[in-house]
Amino acid sequence: MPLHRRDLILAALATTLAGPVMAQGASLLEKVRKAGVLRVGTTGDYFPYSFRDVKTGGFQGYEVQVAERLAADLGVKLQLVQATWPTLVAGLMARKYDIAATGVTVTPERARAVAFTKAYLRPTFIPLILNKDAERFKSWDDLDQPGVTISVQQGTAPETMARKVFTKARILSVADPVIDFTEVLAGRAQAAFTDNLYFLTKIGREYPQLTMLTQGARPGTDTENAMMTLPGDGEWMLWLNKWVDARLADGFFDGLFKTWFEGAGTAR
């Protein structure tokens, strides 16, 4: 999901410099198989996509299982690499990992710097409000008014989209360790803007005083999640996309959805 402006600037420069070199060298597919290891960057801070097990400290989640199956089908070992949202693209460009898989939203801004596989999960960005404010805010239009504050996580795809769809409300950008929806709980914002699956599997279960505002949703707020990798490698991308197609066809992603998003709707 998250998107960081500085990261994209660095990535665009790196793409310009590295693109021709990659085109002339061996495909990452060959390199990964030769090394016997697939390195996957993941943040471990985005339940249920990628999170840390409190007992073992290891990575778990939907995207972790995607990475495990991908490595197995490649016939290599999986190495999970700690990544951060602000440096996710830069870490990829610096060759710290071969793929990023952590609930990454496909955006036009990112697509100018990196390559995305075919999408395999489709969350929707949605405002969260307090239950007690349901009479005041009956639709997205009610939120998009002067005097209303909508909190977003700094450097994220929801922040970018919120600035496009809410043109009258004030957009409050918060940075870690502050979380967007906690600003609503604290009364410093009337709504937060995040993805529906995150709410249904985590936020809504822990904070029942919050609810999603679905009435009057704006077009274009449906999103796509995919794996992110280096651009300019046609052989690698062809293999990855065929892999996604095969796993969609054999029910692998349906099974993962039931495991991690049971009861959270049918977004895929």
Residues 115 and 231 in one domain: yes
The CATH code of the domain that includes 178 is: 3.40.190.10
Tokens of 71: 């490595």
Cα 75–Cα 79–Cα 85 angle in degrees, nearest 5: 130
In this structure, the answer to whether residues 100 and 159 fall within a common structural domain is no
Tell me if 268 is assigned to some domain. Answer: no
Determine the Cα angle at 211 with ends 204 and 135, to 5°.
160
Q: Are residues 183 and 113 in the same domain?
A: no
Sign of the torsion formed by the C-alpha atoms of 212, 216, 218 and 219: positive
Contact residues for 170 (Cβ-Cβ < 8 A; gap 6+): 146, 147, 148, 149, 150
pLDDT at site 264 = 60
In this structure, are 113 and 232 located in the same domain?
yes
Give 27's contacts (C-beta < 8 A, 6+ positions apart).
Answer: 233, 234, 235, 236
What separation in angstroms does the CA of 38 have from each of 32, 78, 79, 115? Answer: 6, 5, 6, 17
Three-class SS of residue 97?
coil
Q: What integer pLDDT is reported at residue 175 of this predicted model?
A: 84
Q: Are 109 and 230 part of one and the same domain?
A: yes
Per-position pLDDT tens, the chain of length 268 = 655 544 444 444 444 444 443 445 799 999 999 999 999 999 998 899 999 998 889 999 999 999 999 999 999 999 999 998 878 899 999 999 999 999 999 988 889 999 999 999 999 999 999 999 999 999 999 999 999 999 998 878 889 899 999 999 999 999 878 899 999 999 999 999 999 999 999 999 999 999 999 999 988 889 999 999 999 999 999 999 999 999 999 999 999 999 999 766 544 4
Q: Which helix (H) or strand (E) holds 229?
A: strand 228-229
Q: What is the domain count for the chain?
A: 2
Inter-residue contact 142 to 136 (CB < 8 Å)? yes
Measured between alpha carbons, how far is 264 from 199 in angstroms, rounded to an integer? 9
Give the DSSP letter string of 237-256: HHHHHHHHHHHHHTTHHHHH
Distances (CA, A) of 232 to 2, 22, 27, 106, 219: 23, 6, 9, 17, 31
Please state, in angstroms and rounded to a whole number, the distance separating the CA atoms of residues 264 and 99: 27
C-alpha–C-alpha distance, residues 130 and 5, integer Å: 30
Strand 228-229 vs strand 99-100: parallel, antiparallel, or unpaired?
antiparallel
Whole-angstrom Cα distance, residue 232 to residue 42? 22
Examine the domain organization and report whether 173 and 145 are in the same domain. yes
Q: For residues 166 and 70, state if they share a domain.
A: no
Distance CA 99, CA 81 (A): 10
Residue 249 belongs to domain spanning: 5-122+224-261
> Which of 173, 192, 212 is where one domain is finished?
212
**Do 133 and 147 fall within a single domain?**
yes
Straight-line distance from the first to the last Cα atom of the chain, in angstroms, rounded to the nearest whole number: 15
Count Cβ atoms below 10 Å from residue 147 Cβ, excluding itself. 8
In a domain, 164, yes or no: yes
| 56 lies in the same domain as 178 | no
Query: What does the alpha-carbon distance between residue 150 and residue 140 come to, in Å, rounded to a whole number?
Result: 11
User: For residue 42, is it within any domain?
Assistant: yes
* Per-residue model confidence (pLDDT) at position 199: 95
Same domain, 14 and 139: no
The pLDDT assigned to 16 comes to: 42
Q: Does residue 230 share a domain with residue 198?
A: no
Q: pLDDT value at position 151?
A: 98
Q: Do 116 and 140 share a structural domain?
A: no
